[in-house]
Amino acid sequence: MHVSFDIASSLDQALRTAAVAAGLEPESFSPEVRAADPRYGDFQANGVLAYAKARKLNPRALAEHIIAALPSDVGEHCSVSIAGPGFINFLLKPESLLQWITAQDTTERLKSGATSLHHGQKYVVDFSSPNTAKQLHVGHVRGMVIGEAICRLLAFCGAEVIRDNHIGDWGTQFGKLIWGYKHHLDQAALAKDPLEELERLYKLTDAATKSAPSVLDAVRAELVLLQSGDAENLALWKKIIALSSGAFTEIYRLLDIHFDHQLGESFYNDKLPAIYAELGSTGLASESQGALVVFHPEHPRFKTQPFIIRKSDGAANYASTDLATMLYRTEHFHADAIAILTDARQADHFEQLWLTTEKWFMMTGRPLPRFTHVSFGSILGEDGKAIKTRSGDPIKLKTLLAEAVDRAFVLVTAKAPELPESERREIATAVGLGAIRYADLAQNRSSDYIFSWDKILSFEGNTAPYLLYAVSRVRSIFRKAGLEPNDASAVTGATPPESPAELALARKLIAFPVALKLTTEQLRPHFLCTYLYELAGEFSSFYAAEKVVVDDASIRARRLLLCSRTLLLLETGLHLLGLRTLVRM
């Protein structure tokens, strides 16, 4: 065993080797190496317990055998012990901690270490995917920031990532928009603020369809006309798309969100007849109440709840286009994995989509990619209900982001009035946008979360300001010492960590790969957030306990080394999450 980037994996390998030598059945032994509670060591292996249990063996005795068979170099790097019912604990020697920390000296080095996690896999990530002609609001932000973070993380870990913004540019809302445009357009308002006017038309028509069935029929007719290629409706459609995409781009730029493709629903329009035909000929789809639907008899609910792939009026819906999208991503992009980000309320739809796709691809002999519906909960107000403005409308994303920056500016000005205003503005932008972003990432995406300005802008706790503050403190040390953080000469001659605070920080540093692995395997960025927060915490404790710039050259070098790598991991991690870091704040 050498001190590799991913020590847990090295230990896993060593344990598997030892297990074979000790006479275990290798295919049924999984070492289960994980980061340990610091009280017990750096890593622990729990797999012996399960193996012994299944065979009614004494787990401690079995652990003894495995340890005795471990490759000899494991012992050079860590002390190994058995504890409790049969845990194997590994405590890295300070010299080995130093070796890892010294080696991980640049973002590129970290990336090359992380590459093995998802090397060779091609991911299509579908995120943001707003509806055309509606403004982005607070409900869109979580998918945007989680999606961007997931893309960056997967790419960092070696995957080839294709980012696709699957814009809703073809659905029923266009029936409404076109009908509204034809009957109630206010030209002056359109010239002044196109999105406001389009939104007004949409709301007006939507309300009208609910009170007058004849309007609903008219709206549906407009959609059918559009989807069958009517020239007038097509021209209107193009105009509406152009107006709204400009507004999206503005926000994407502000939040540093990027796409390789924007293949909206309309892109799949000409591919739909083939889908209907295939699903019909394989027998998966059938006619019901005039619509083309798919039932899943083996499923408790979807045996009676249909997946409607073509509406009774012949128009497409999002099941139609999503099926075409699955096919296109498989055949054209050759995706190994597809991840679609939407809020959890669409879980039914994606479960039906996947069940249908599995059967369809199986019956037609197509390769089946992995699929993950990366769902997430809603953002709630402090009253625990869906967050809204006083008038009951959703909060516009533009407004929310502007308020975040404004609030951060007030805080920055209070704490650092001596900085020039331009710099305070810059800091406020990074802190304000970072706070919104981090709040969306730090909590497990499965649950709803309660939005609170005071909480996300606090300098205490698991927040963006706390992490950015830690970064600026490390930078300050180097600035005061007249050094660059990545200056190798400042850290040459570093001795292994010694004091409790040094050791605790060193041990947190080496756990970075575990956090990356968890995050990208489960597509849950909060694992990385938790890790970075704990790292910043260990740094703060270390900083309070030990003076870094001391006279003794070797002590100074080893503490500067710890600072340098803390900075590297914090900045790398925060950038992967999409946050901008600061030199001063």
Residues 468-507 that bind RNA (CB under 7 A): 469, 472-473, 475-477, 480-481
Stretch that binds RNA, among 96-104, 192-200, 269-277, 456-464 (CB under 7 A): 456-464
Question: Could you tell me the smallest distance in angstroms from the CB atom of residue 459 to RNA?
Answer: 3
**CB of 263 within 8 A of CB of 319?**
no
C-beta of 291: minimal distance to RNA in Å?
Answer: 4
Work out how close the CB of 431 gets to RNA at its nearest, in angstroms, rounded to a whole number.
7
CB 354 within 8 A of CB 330: no
Q: Output 54 or 364, the one with its CB closest to RNA.
A: 54
Question: Cα dihedral sign for 584, 401, 163, 258?
Answer: negative
| DSSP one-letter string for 289-300 | TTEEEE--TTST
Roughly how many angstroms between the first and final C-alpha of the chain, as a whole number? 42
Q: Give me the least distance between CB of 191 and RNA, in Å please.
A: 28
Smallest distance, RNA to C-beta of residue 386, A? 7
Helices (H) and strands (E) in the chain, counts: 24, 13
Spell out, one character per residue from 123 to 162, where the chain touches RNA: x when CB under 7 A holds, - when not. Answer: ------x-x-------------------------------
Q: How many CA atoms lie within 13 A of 336 on its CB side?
A: 10
User: For residues 428 and 431, what is the distance between their CA atoms, to the nearest angstrom?
Assistant: 5
Which residue number, 365 or 482, has a Cβ lying nearer to RNA?
Answer: 482
3-state secondary structure 138-198: HHHHHHHHHHHHHHHHHHHCCCEEEEECCCECCCHHHHHHHHHHHHHCCHHHHHHCHHHHH
Q: Which is nearer to RNA, 71 or 381 (CB)?
A: 381
Quote the least distance from Cβ 98 to RNA, whole Å.
20
Q: Which is nearer to RNA, 99 or 472 (CB)?
A: 472
By beta-carbon proximity to RNA, the closer residue of 99 and 262 is 262
The CB-of-143 to RNA minimum distance in angstroms stands at 11
How far is CA 304 from its chain centroid? Answer: 34
Interacting residues with RNA between 221 and 250 (CB under 7 A): none
User: Binders of RNA among 551-580, rule CB under 7 A?
Assistant: none
Output 137 or 526, the one with its CB closest to RNA.
526
Give me the residue label for tokens 């007006």.
Answer: 204
CB contact set of 269 (below 8 Å; sequence gap of 6+): 170, 227, 316, 321
As a whole number of angstroms, the distance between CA 487 and CA 33 comes to: 34
Whichever of 142 and 475 has its CB closer to RNA, that residue is 475
| Residue from the set 107, 448, 453, 580 that interacts with RNA by CB under 7 A | 448
CA-angle at 436, arms to 430 and 441, nearest 5°: 110
**Residue 103 or 291: which CB sits closer to RNA?**
291
Q: Which residue has the tokens 């170099």?
A: 73
Placement of tokens 């293949």 in the chain: 263
Q: Which is nearer to RNA, 365 or 404 (CB)?
A: 404
Cα–Cα dist 528/296, whole Å: 38
Work out which of 205, 462, 566, 572 binds RNA, going by CB under 7 A.
Answer: 462
Residues 70-99 that bind RNA (CB under 7 A): 83-85, 87, 89
For RNA, which is the closer residue by CB, 186 or 200? 200
Interatomic CA distance for residues 269 and 264, integer angstroms: 10
State in angstroms the smallest separation of the CB of 187 from RNA.
Answer: 27
From candidates 530, 557, 575, 580, binder to RNA by CB under 7 A: 530
Q: How far apart are CA 561 and CA 102, in angstroms?
A: 7
Provide the minimum distance between the beta carbon of 271 and RNA in the complex, in angstroms, as a whole number.
Answer: 16
| Sole binder of RNA in the list 283, 300, 392, 420 (CB under 7 A) | 300
Binding mask 203-222 for RNA (x = CB under 7 A): -----------------x--
> Taking a C-beta distance cutoff of 8 angstroms, is the pair 189, 196 a contact?
yes
Write down the least CB distance from residue 472 to RNA, Å: 4
- Considering the complex, state which of residue 249 and residue 304 has its C-beta at the smaller distance from RNA: 304
Q: How far apart are CA 180 and CA 202, in angstroms?
A: 7
Is residue 376 a contact point for RNA (CB under 7 A)? no
Nearer to RNA, 185 or 481 (CB): 481
Nearest to 408 by CA among 472, 474, 464: 464
Q: Are residues 137 and 394 in contact, defined by beta-carbon separation less than 8 angstroms?
A: yes
Taking contact as CB under 7 A, which single stretch among the options 105-113, 232-240, 272-280, 542-550 is the one that binds RNA? 542-550
**Chosen residue from 192, 301, 370, 388 binding RNA by CB under 7 A:** 301
| 83 beta partners | 87
List the beta strands (DSSP E) in 428-531. Answer: 449-450
Percent helix, percent strand, percent coil in the chain, to nearest 5? 60, 10, 30
- 336 within 8 A of 121, measured Cβ to Cβ: yes
Nearer to RNA, 55 or 119 (CB): 55
Q: Which residues in the 428-447 window bind RNA by CB under 7 A?
A: 443-444, 446-447
Please tell me whether residue 313 binds RNA under the rule CB under 7 A.
Answer: yes
Binding flag, residue 395, RNA (CB under 7 A): no
User: Binding to RNA (CB under 7 A): which residues in 19-58?
Assistant: 32, 34-37, 40-41, 44, 46, 49-50, 53
What is the DSSP code string of 451-511? --HHHHT-SSSSSHHHHHHHHHHHHHHHHHHT--TT-HHHHTTPPPP-SHHHHHHHHHHTT
* Residues 48, 59 contacting (CB under 8 angstroms): yes
The residues in 269-288 that bind RNA, with binding defined as CB under 7 A, are 288
* C-beta of 200 vs 366, nearer to RNA: 200
Identify the helix (H) or strand (E) that includes residue 317: none
- 3-class DSSP assignment, residue 309: strand
- Please, which of residues 343-372 interact with RNA by CB under 7 A? 344-349
Q: Closest approach of Cβ 208 to RNA, in Å?
A: 15
Q: Which two tokens stand for residue 75?
A: 């012992």
List the one residue from 31, 143, 194, 306 that touches RNA (CB under 7 A). Answer: 306
CB of 192 to RNA, least distance (A): 27
Beta bridge partners of 125: 163, 339
